[in-house]
A = this chain, B = another copy of it.
Amino acid sequence: MASWQDKAAAKRASLATLIPSDLKLSALPGSATLNVTLFPFDSVLSHRDVEITETVNVSILLKKISEGEWTATEVVSAYYKRAIVAHQLVNCLTEIFIDQALARAKELDDYFQATGKTIGPLHLKDQIDVKGVELTMGYVGWIGNVSKENSVCAQLLLDQGAVLYVRTNVPQALMFGESVNNVFGTTSNPFNRNLTCGGSSGGEGALIAMKGSPLGVGSDLGGSIRIPSAFQGLYGLRPSYNRIPYCGSTNSMEGQEAITSVLGPMTCSVDGLKVFMQAMADAKPWLSDPVALRLPWNDAAYLLADHGGDGARLCFALMWDDGVCRPMPPYIRALRETKAALEAAGHKGTRFSPSLVKPVSHVHIGLFNADGGHDIALARGLSGEPKLGWSTVLDSEPKHLSTYEYWQLCRERTIFIKKHLDHWNDTVSTTGTGRPVDAIIAPASPSAPSQHNTPGYIYYTGFCNLCDYSAAVFPVTTVDPAIDVKLPAHEFRSVNDQTNYENCMNEPETFRNAPISLQCIGRKNEEEAVIRMTEIVSAALQA
> Is A247 a contact partner of B291 (Cβ separation < 8 A)?
no
Given contacts A404-B374, A404-B375, contact A418 B290 (CB under 8 A): yes
Q: Which of A72-80, A165-173, A251-259 contacts B (4 or more CB under 8 A)?
A: A251-259
Contact of A402 among B253, B402, B524 (CB under 8 A): B402
Verify if A7 is at the interface (C-beta below 8 Å from B). Answer: no
> Is A408 a contact partner of B525 (Cβ separation < 8 A)?
no
Q: Which of A288, A293, A372 has the most CB of B within 10 A?
A: A293
> Is B410 a contact partner of A255 (Cβ separation < 8 A)?
yes
CB distance from A187 to the nearest CB of B (A): 29
Verify if A409 is at the interface (C-beta below 8 Å from B). Answer: yes
Bitwise interface map of A from 355 to 398 toward B, beta carbon under 8 Å scored 1, else 0: 00000000000000011101100000000000000000000000
Q: What is the count of identical protomers in the complex?
A: 2
Q: Which of A255, A287, A290, A407 has the most CB of B within 10 A?
A: A290
CA distance A290 to B413 in the complex (A): 11
Bitwise interface map of A from 193 to 221 toward B, beta carbon under 8 Å scored 1, else 0: 00000000000000000000000000000
> Is B524 a contact partner of A290 (Cβ separation < 8 A)?
yes
B residues near A403, Cβ cutoff 8 Å: 370-372, 400-403, 405-406
Verify if A417 is at the interface (C-beta below 8 Å from B). Answer: yes
Bitwise interface map of A from 55 to 90 toward B, beta carbon under 8 Å scored 1, else 0: 000000000000000000000000000000000000
Verify if A112 is at the interface (C-beta below 8 Å from B). Answer: no
Contact of A254 among B247, B405, B411 (CB under 8 A): B411
B residues near A247, Cβ cutoff 8 Å: 414, 418
Given contacts A254-B411, A401-B403, contact A294 B375 (CB under 8 A): no
By a beta-carbon cutoff of 8 Å, the part of chain A in contact with chain B is 247, 253-258, 286-291, 293-295, 370-372, 374-375, 400-411, 414, 417-418, 420-422, 425, 467-468, 523-526
B residues near A401, Cβ cutoff 8 Å: 402-403
Contact of A291 among B286, B420, B468 (CB under 8 A): B468
13 new A-B contacts, CB < 8 A, other than A290-B418, A293-B525, A375-B407, are A254-B407, A255-B407, A255-B408, A286-B523, A289-B418, A290-B468, A291-B417, A294-B525, A295-B525, A371-B402, A400-B402, A401-B402, A403-B406
B residues near A374, Cβ cutoff 8 Å: 404
> Is B414 a contact partner of A290 (Cβ separation < 8 A)?
yes
B residues near A254, Cβ cutoff 8 Å: 407, 410-411, 414
> Is A253 a contact partner of B407 (Cβ separation < 8 A)?
yes
CA distance A286 to B290 in the complex (A): 22
> Is B409 a contact partner of A255 (Cβ separation < 8 A)?
yes
B residues near A414, Cβ cutoff 8 Å: 247, 254-255, 290-291
Contact of A425 among B258, B288, B372 (CB under 8 A): B288
CA distance A291 to B417 in the complex (A): 9
CA distance A337 to B256 in the complex (A): 44
CA distance A289 to B468 in the complex (A): 12
Given contacts A247-B418, A291-B468, A403-B400, contact A410 B524 (CB under 8 A): no
Please name the residue on chain B nearest to A400 by beta carbon.
B402
Q: Which of A401, A408, A420, A421 has the most CB of B within 10 A?
A: A421
CA distance A247 to B421 in the complex (A): 12
> Is B290 a contact partner of A417 (Cβ separation < 8 A)?
yes
Contact of A257 among B410, B525, B526 (CB under 8 A): B410
CA distance A375 to B406 in the complex (A): 12
Please name the residue on chain B nearest to A284 by beta carbon.
B306
CA distance A258 to B257 in the complex (A): 8
CA distance A71 to B288 in the complex (A): 50
CA distance A80 to B405 in the complex (A): 42
CA distance A371 to B287 in the complex (A): 33
CB distance from A376 to the nearest CB of B (A): 11
Q: Which of A247, A414, A417, A467 has the most CB of B within 10 A?
A: A414
B residues near A402, Cβ cutoff 8 Å: 371-372, 400-403
Given contacts A257-B257, A401-B402, A468-B291, contact A286 B525 (CB under 8 A): yes
> Is B524 a contact partner of A286 (Cβ separation < 8 A)?
yes
B residues near A295, Cβ cutoff 8 Å: 295, 525
CB distance from A362 to the nearest CB of B (A): 16
> Is B255 a contact partner of A290 (Cβ separation < 8 A)?
no
CA distance A254 to B401 in the complex (A): 16
CB distance from A540 to the nearest CB of B (A): 26
> Is A290 a contact partner of B407 (Cβ separation < 8 A)?
no
Please name the residue on chain B nearest to A253 by beta carbon.
B407
Given contacts A258-B257, A404-B371, A425-B288, contact A524 B409 (CB under 8 A): no
